[in-house]
């Protein structure tokens, strides 16, 4: 089985546990934080990846480190990952978990490119208009690229909506050249 499929299966199990606890968003933040902690600490990463360290020792260290910071159900989940030698899939599981929660709540992420920085009110307005257009809650990830001259470029999944001034000028140029 591919790692992405395995990670998705574990993410589905974690989502079921989180739903049972009534805290899907909170558990998403926690699994993401745990993944970040493992990825940012080379010693912890090497410790978890080391095949010569027994699973019981890994579970003991993780339990001591995160006891009181993670719910008991999540600690058991991480322990099961260690037992099954899947602890290095934490980042992929966190990503899959976030995707599952987004799909469940009807939320999509959009990369929005603008020619200039915008205020928080303008970001909210962009999110509201995109949400109305797409029929889902849109979480905009805004970046600035002065090369588009004005307007905006929105990418949601594989769909690109280019409303930039640069694109409009390019289309106008094409029409003028074709008309000669």
One domain, residues 98 and 111: no
Q: Final residue of a domain: which of 103, 135, 152?
A: 103
Rounded distance between C-alpha atoms, residue 62 and residue 3, angstroms: 22
One domain, residues 143 and 63: no
One domain, residues 151 and 173: yes
Output b/e per residue, 95-131; b: 16+ Cβ within 10 A: bbbbebbbeeeeebebebbbbeebeeeeeeebbeebb
The residues, ordered by sequence, that sit 6+ positions from 147 with a Cβ below 8 Å of its Cβ are 115, 166
Its domain, for residue 121, covers: 107-178
One domain, residues 155 and 93: no
Flag whether pLDDT at 180 surpasses 70.
no
One domain, residues 11 and 65: yes
SS3 state of residue 117: coil
pTM above 0.85, yes or no: no
What is the arithmetic mean of pLDDT over 79-100? 93
Q: Final residue of a domain: which of 69, 103, 137?
A: 103
What is the arithmetic mean of pLDDT over 45-52? 91
Give 108-121 pLDDT, tens digit per residue.
999 999 999 999 99
Give 130-167 pLDDT, tens digit per residue.
999 989 999 999 999 999 989 999 999 889 999 899 99
């Amino acid at each position: 089985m591919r790692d992405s499929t395995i990670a998705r299966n574990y993410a589905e199990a974690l989502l079921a546990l989180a739903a049972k606890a009534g805290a899907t968003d909170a558990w998403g933040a926690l699994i993401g934080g745990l993944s970040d902690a493992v990825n940012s600490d080379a010693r912890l990463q090497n410790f978890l990846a080391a095949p010569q360290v027994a699973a019981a020792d890994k579970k003991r260290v993780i339990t001591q480190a995160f006891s009181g910071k993670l719910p008991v159900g999540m600690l058991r989940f991480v322990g099961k990952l260690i037992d099954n030698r899947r602890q290095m899939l934490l980042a992929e599981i966190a990503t899959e978990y976030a995707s599952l929660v987004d799909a469940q709540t009807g939320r999509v992420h959009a990369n929005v490119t603008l020619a200039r920085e915008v205020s928080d009110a303008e970001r909210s307005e962009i999110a509201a208009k995109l949400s109305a257009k797409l029929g889902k809650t849109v979480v905009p990830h805004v970046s600035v690229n002065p090369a588009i001259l004005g307007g905006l470029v929105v990418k949601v999944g594989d769909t690109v909506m280019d409303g930039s001034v640069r694109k409009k000028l390019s289309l106008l140029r094409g029409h003028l050249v074709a008309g000669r």
